[in-house]
Amino acid sequence: MEASTVSARPWFPQRVTICEVGPRDGLQNEAVSVRTDDKVRYIDLLAAAGCSNIEVTSFVNPKAVPQLADAEAVWARLAVFPGCRYIALVANERGLERAFAAGVRAIGLFTAASDAFTQRNIGMSVDESLTAFAPLAARAKADGMYVRASISTAFGCPFAGPVRVADVVRVAQGLWALGVDEVSIADTIGVATPNQVFDVVAALVPHLPVQRIGLHFHDTRGTALANIVAGLQSGVAIYDSSAGGLGGCPFAPGATGNVATEDVLYMLHGMGIATGVDLDRVRAASRFIGEKLTGRVVSRAFAALEAADRRAALTRA
Amino acid sequence: MEASTVSARPWFPQRVTICEVGPRDGLQNEAVSVRTDDKVRYIDLLAAAGCSNIEVTSFVNPKAVPQLADAEAVWARLAVFPGCRYIALVANERGLERAFAAGVRAIGLFTAASDAFTQRNIGMSVDESLTAFAPLAARAKADGMYVRASISTAFGCPFAGPVRVADVVRVAQGLWALGVDEVSIADTIGVATPNQVFDVVAALVPHLPVQRIGLHFHDTRGTALANIVAGLQSGVAIYDSSAGGLGGCPFAPGATGNVATEDVLYMLHGMGIATGVDLDRVRAASRFIGEKLTGRVVSRAFAALEAADRRAALTRA
């Protein structure tokens, strides 16, 4: 039998950058507090696994986010991995000062596509946040920092409901005009489906280079990997994920939040797309941090691969 | 701001048939036995939800599959829903006789793409299974039955490892030559990734009509919905799923098995693809059967939607 020689596969990027958000976005949303030592160890394990972009912590008000009150202490103890970019969230001038003082070289700024969300989350409208971020982005870029800007609720808002594609484009243009290096489009509540991804990315690409667009999906309704396929096909090659799927969903207690790094890696590597990240070593990081948390690791690939290892160990025994 | 008028979405079928496998494939693989009454109620709820194809039970050796030993009792009590096709699995002449006697109008035959699997599962090689199925398919078709034939391990075998696309094509051709109505290609252990789906479907379409190809995915590594997107893009419009994600994975204890009907419906409906199935009513069926099982319902969309309902109920209270 002759195999077909014409590939039926659509075009996909051959290399993808994973931005590992477990230490910040993941741990911030877990009920259990993790010791500074354990956070540092978790981040070290992720960096050793080949994660080249890691969202490490937030320099924000420790009263608002007590889980990340040890930002300086964590930062001071990070090991140096060549080529690894550690990212810290910053919400205002005070946070940027703390980040400068700590030696941070990459910051993340967070706004949203809906005023209802930014008002509750950062106490400003979306437009006010763009105005507030302008001097932060300018100072950070003048200092040679990498600046990542995220748009939460880009596929739906827990307070306002559906979000218009035009609103996402408007905010992305606003952020891009501030001179940021990357704009990350986030499905904060995990409602997106693939056609929305095709639509949003297609609407963005006339306004900023597709190489500077990132996508951040939650697996709350199981659609995260399907959305990544749509993102890949649209040309996007930067994806956020959380080792072990840490983080949960603050808007749907008991539901899944961030897509798990293990699931993303399993799929991408299966598709022949390189990430530079070692799935087994990410699993080791998830195993480590899972033991520190009462919440279980929710990655499906993690569960399947751990089960396979236990089976193999029994066979050898 | 002008929205782009050229759609960036790839072509997808506008209507999809869901084959609900919870009552058979799901319950067969759950540790807890369910009462006949509860099975009938579960199936009724699914049919009332609009499921037009339901894998109900198996007419196989009750010693081999004790969970489905009540096949006749279940069948005798199924409510009549116009347009709903109830499917029963049959493995041999004896099973077909029982199915005839029970009034079954649609049967499912199961072989695999790997001899290692069929030897363990049905005690024959793949070729022997095709030979054995020939008279069964002929008799069933002569009687006007609908015949569905499934190919397990089409994307990987728990015993033999990787499976060649050419082997899947060969088995599909063999089944199609028996005059079956539909060939379902199954990822029994949940290892498939989207490029494999593109490759397998592309290799099959020269040999049988794409309208007669079904896909059966497991979400063991989180890739099921991504694989369905690849299947849709390849033209396949028949997908198996299990309400609540019942079934687990016999080859990776503790891991996820069948993709959940709720997750599939959430994605398809979000993409504007019609199924005729009501997601909220499927959830009711999963809630019902979940209470009868010690295993929890593993659908992510189910968990998120249940959480949203609890939240809305609190707000109203």
pLDDT in tens, B285-299: 999 999 998 767 889
Q: Is residue A277 in a domain?
A: yes
Q: Which residue of chain B comes nearest to A312, CA vs CA?
A: B252
Report pLDDT for B256: 85
Share above pLDDT 90 across residues of chain A, in percent, rounded to a whole number? 84
Report pLDDT for A313: 87
Chain segment B83-94, per-residue pLDDT in tens: 999 999 999 999
What are phi and psi for residue B309, nearest 5 degrees?
-65, -40
Report pLDDT for A295: 63
In this structure, are residues B178 and B136 in contact, taking their beta carbons and an 8 Å threshold? no
Report pLDDT for B248: 82
Chain segment A263-302, per-residue pLDDT in tens: 999 999 999 999 999 999 999 999 999 999 876 788 999 9
Chain segment B181-223, per-residue pLDDT in tens: 999 999 999 999 999 999 999 999 999 999 999 999 999 999 9
Q: Is A64 helix (H, G, I), strand (E, B) or coil?
A: coil
In this structure, are residues B247 and B265 in contact, taking their beta carbons and an 8 Å threshold? no
Chain segment A125-146, per-residue pLDDT in tens: 999 999 999 999 999 999 999 9
Report pLDDT for B6: 58
The range of the structural domain enclosing residue B208 comes to 17-316
Q: Is residue B2 in a domain?
A: no
Across the interface, do B300 and A222 touch by the CB < 8 Å criterion? yes
Q: What is the mean pLDDT of chain B?
A: 94
Residue B266 belongs to domain with CATH number: 3.20.20.70
Report pLDDT for B295: 63
Q: How far is A90 from chain B (nearest CA, A)?
A: 30
**Bridge partner list, A106:** A146
Report pLDDT for B3: 44
Residues 221..260 of A with a Cβ closer than 8 Å to B: which?
221-226, 228-230, 233-234, 249, 252-256, 260
Q: Is residue A4 in a domain?
A: no
Q: Is residue B5 in a domain?
A: no
- Count of domains forming chain A: 1
pLDDT confidence band for B43 (50 / 70 / 90)? very high
Q: Is residue A242 in a domain?
A: yes
Chain segment A70-107, per-residue pLDDT in tens: 999 999 999 989 899 999 999 999 999 999 999 999 99
What are phi and psi for residue A139, nearest 5 degrees?
-65, -45
Q: What is the mean pLDDT of chain A?
A: 94
What are phi and psi for residue A195, nearest 5 degrees?
-65, -35
Could you tell me which residues come within 8 angstroms of residue B266 by beta carbon, excluding any fewer than 6 positions away?
A: A193, A221, A222, A223, B279, B301, B305
A190 dihedral zone (left: phi>0; alpha: psi -120 to 50; beta):
left
Q: How far is A43 from chain B (nearest CA, A)?
A: 24
Q: Is residue A6 in a domain?
A: no
Gap between the Cα atoms of B22 and A258, Å rounded: 27
User: Does residue A249 carry a catalytic annotation?
Assistant: yes
Report pLDDT for B316: 78
In this structure, are residues A293 and A32 in contact, taking their beta carbons and an 8 Å threshold? yes
Q: Is residue A5 in a domain?
A: no
Length of chain A: 317
Q: Is residue B8 in a domain?
A: no
pLDDT confidence band for A6 (50 / 70 / 90)? low
Q: Does B208 touch chain A (CB under 8 A)?
A: no
Q: Other C-beta atoms within 10 Å of A6: how many?
A: 5
**Bridge partner list, B87:** B55
Gap between the Cα atoms of B54 and B63, Å rounded: 23
Gap between the Cα atoms of A271 and B185, Å rounded: 19
pLDDT of A3 strictly over 80:
no
Q: How far is B5 from chain A (nearest CA, A)?
A: 10
Where is average pLDDT lowest: A26-30, A55-59, A167-171, B74-78? A26-30
Question: How do strand B17-20 and strand A213-216 relate by DSSP bridges?
Answer: unpaired
Gap between the Cα atoms of B239 and B313, Å rounded: 33
Q: Does A300 touch chain B (CB under 8 A)?
A: yes
What's the token pair of residue B49? 């939800």
Instruction: Name the residue among B170, B228, B304 with its Cβ closest to that of A252.
Output: B304
Question: How do strand A238-241 and strand B17-20 relate by DSSP bridges?
Answer: unpaired
Chain segment B261-294, per-residue pLDDT in tens: 999 999 999 999 999 999 999 999 999 999 998 7
Place of tokens 């609190």: B314
Gap between the Cα atoms of A141 and A200, Å rounded: 27
Find chain A residues with C-beta within 8 A of B271's C-beta: 193-195
pTM of the model: 0.96
